[in-house]
Chain A
Amino acid sequence: MINPYVPYPVTIDDIQVATEDKSLKTFRFVFKNPGDEEKFSYKAGQFAELSIPGQGEIPIGIASSPTEKGFVMFTVFKTGKVTQYLHSMKVGETMGIRGPLGNWYPWDTLKGKNILIIGGGFAFTTLRSSIKMMLDPKNRGDYGNIDVVYGARTPGMLLYKDELVEWEKRDDIRMHLTVDSEAPNWNYHVGFTPAVTEKVAPQASDDTYAIVCGPPIMIKFTLPVLEKLGYKHDHIIMSLENRMKCGIGMCGRCNIGRELVCKDGPVFTLDQINLTPKEY
C-alpha cells in the first residue's frame, strides 16, 4: 500500500521575489530521489501539498508546466504559519512535496477549442502552467485562439513579468494585461479585470471556453460579464480554494456539498458549482 501522506523529499533550488511588495515568492524545487519526478507527473491545474517538517503542509497550485522538466515551481503568498516560514527558507534547504493532487483543467474537452483565460492577483499560478503548456510547440496545434486577460493592482504586482512580456510579443496568443490605475511606462490596459474582459473577450461560442481564477471579488464581477457575452455555465471553468489538510479526500474539511474540493476539484465548471452550496 502506498502511503499517500508521505511527501517526496525536495531541495529548494531557486527562490525569486515575485512581486514589488515582496509578499509573493516563487520557489523552484528539485526532487532528491531519482524517480520521484516521474512519479510526480502532473497536468496543468493540479496542486500539491508543500510540506515543511515541524511547520505543516499547505496546498499550493503547481505553477510550472508539465512541459518543463527537471524542477517544479510554486508561487506562494506570505500569510500565516507555514507560508511565513517558507518565505524565510533558503536555497539548498530540504523540504517535502506531496502530490500531484486534485483534478486539472479539462484538457480533453478543451482540445481544438478557443480558450479565454481570465486571471486576477496571485491566482495566476496554475494559469501560467496552462499557458506555458499550451504554447509548447508540441501542444500549440491542439488549441484554437488563446486570449489571456490578466490584471493586478499595479504593474509590480503582476506575476511572471518576463514571460508576460515575451508572450505579449507572440502572435499565437493574445495578451490583455491590465492594472487598476494609470502607472508610469505602462502601455497596456488600465481598469479592473471584469471591465477589460468585457472589452476584449471573444464572443461566446460552443467552441470557446473561459477559465477564471482570481480573488472572490474579481470572480463576482467577471461572471456576469461572461454571461452577458453569452458564455454558457458549462463553458465557464473555475478553480476553488478551500482550507485543506489531507488533499486526498479523507479529512473532510474542504467539501462543498458532496464534492470534496481537494479530490473532486479544485476545478469545476460553473454549472457544477451552481448545484452545490456556496461554502467556499
Chain B
Amino acid sequence: MKIYHIDRESWVKGLAASAEVYQLVGPVREKDDFDFKVLDKGQMPDLTGTDTRLSPKALVFPKSEIMMTFSTDPNDPDCNIMKEAKKEYPKRAVIGIRPYDARALQILKMNYDNGDYQDPYFLNAYEAITFVGLAVNSPSSTDFSTSCGTGPFDEKGLDVLLVAAGEEGDFYAKILTDKGDAWAKAAGFSKEAGSDVSTRIEAMKKTAEEAISSKIAFDKIEKKTVLELFEADHWENTAFACINCGTCTYACPTCWCFDIQDENFGTKGVRIKNWDSCMTGLFTLHGSGHNPREHRYQRTRQRFMHKLKYFADKYGEGIMCVGCGRCVRQCPANIDIREICETMNK
C-alpha cells in the first residue's frame, strides 16, 4: 500500500477535510495529562504526549454505557420489557492512538467476540473506527511493548501508521488497510513519499525499538502449569503492598471486566454496563456470603495470572499486556508487572 508524505499545512487541511466525513477523536491535554476526546470543529489532536493517562479503551468500552431501557409502570403495555437502547455509531477516525494501544483493543476484541457470542456495543463501536496510529519515536522508560508481541511501530491494530518525519511537523502516513485508504482519500492526501521512505521508516523503527531497555520474559511461565504458578508460595509476599485500589485495571488498555447494573428513575430505568475490577471483593462475592477470593492477595494474583497465564494459554496469542507501562506508572504501591512476571518466570 501507499505511503504519503504530509507536510504541516496539508495535515491541518487534511484533518479538516476528513472531519467532513468522520468524527475525529484524538488526545487532548487535560492539566498534566492527556485523554482521548471527540475533537471540536477545527480542534487539532495534541500529539505531544507519549501516552494518555487512561488508555483509549473507553472509545470501544465506555466507563459506563446504557445497554437497555425499560419501564416499570404497570400502565405501560411494555412494562418490564427490556428494549435495546438506541445508539448511533458514526464513522470515526481516531488520530494519534499509539500502536500498542491499538493492539490492546484487538485483544479486547478477542473477549467481546468469543465465537459463541458477540457484544454488539463493543463491536459496533470498534467497527466504526478507523485507527490512525502514531508511531512512538521516543519510548518512555516504562515502555516494554517490544517484549509483549507489539511495539512502538506495530501495525497490527492500525489502519494507518503515522510516523513523525522531522522537525517541521511532517508525517509519513503508511496506509495499511482499505479503511485507512478511505480516510486518507477523505483527507485528500496525495503526495507520495520518496522511494527511500520505507528504508527510513525501518531505520526509525529500529532506533525506537532499541531505545526500549525494559524487557520481560515469560518463557518459563508458558511451560509451567496453571496450578504450579497459582499455588507458588510467593503470592502473599508479592501482593503485600497492593491495596486493591483498582487503578491498574482502570488504566489498563487490555483489562476488559465489567459489571451490569440497573438504575431506576421513577418508573423508567436503564440497564448499564460499567467498568469493573477484579481487585474488589464484591467482584466474586456469592449471595451466600462465601467469597472464592476473600483475601487481597488472591485478587492481585488473579490479575497477574489472568494476564500472564490464563489468557496466554487460552488464546495462544501471547500475554494480555501490551507493555504500555500505565499500571507501573500509576500504581500507588509500586506494584510492577515486570517484577511480578520475573518472579513468576523463575
Contacts and interface: CB of A to CB of B under 8 A. Distances in A.
Q: Judge: A and B partners, yes or no.
A: yes
Interface residues of B, number: 55
B48 interface: no
Contact of B262 (A32, A56, A242, A251): A56
A83 B79 CA distance: 20
Given A79-B287, A277-B230, A53 B257 contact: no
Nearest to A252: B257
Contacts of B12: none
Interface string B48-91: 00000000000000000001101110000001111010000000
Interface string A1-21: 111111101000000000000
A96 interface: yes
Interface stretch (A111-119, A137-145, A185-193, A255-263): A255-263
Contacts of A9: 80-82
Interface residues of A: mostly helix, strand, loop or mixed? loop
B118 A1 contact: yes
A33 B141 CA distance: 58
Contacts of A80: 287
Contacts of A165: none
Contacts, number: 134
Contacts of A243: 283-287
Interface in B271-318: 271, 276, 278, 283-288, 290, 292-293, 298, 302, 305-306, 309-311, 313-314
A258 B123 CA distance: 23
Contacts of B120: 1, 3
A258 B292 contact: no
Contacts of A276: 226-227
Contacts of B177: none
B292 A279 contact: yes
A250 B80 contact: no
Nearest to A7: B82
Contacts of B313: 258
Nearest to B71: A53
Given A5-B67, A79-B288, A96-B80, 7 more contacts: A1-B118, A5-B68, A7-B82, A250-B111, A253-B257, A253-B283, A255-B302
- Which 4 A-B pairs give the minimum distances between C-beta atoms? A252-B257, A258-B310, A53-B70, A94-B80
Interface of B: 67-68, 70-72, 79-82, 84, 111-112, 114, 116-120, 123-124, 225-227, 230-231, 256-262, 264, 269, 271, 276, 278, 283-288, 290, 292-293, 298, 302, 305-306, 309-311, 313-314
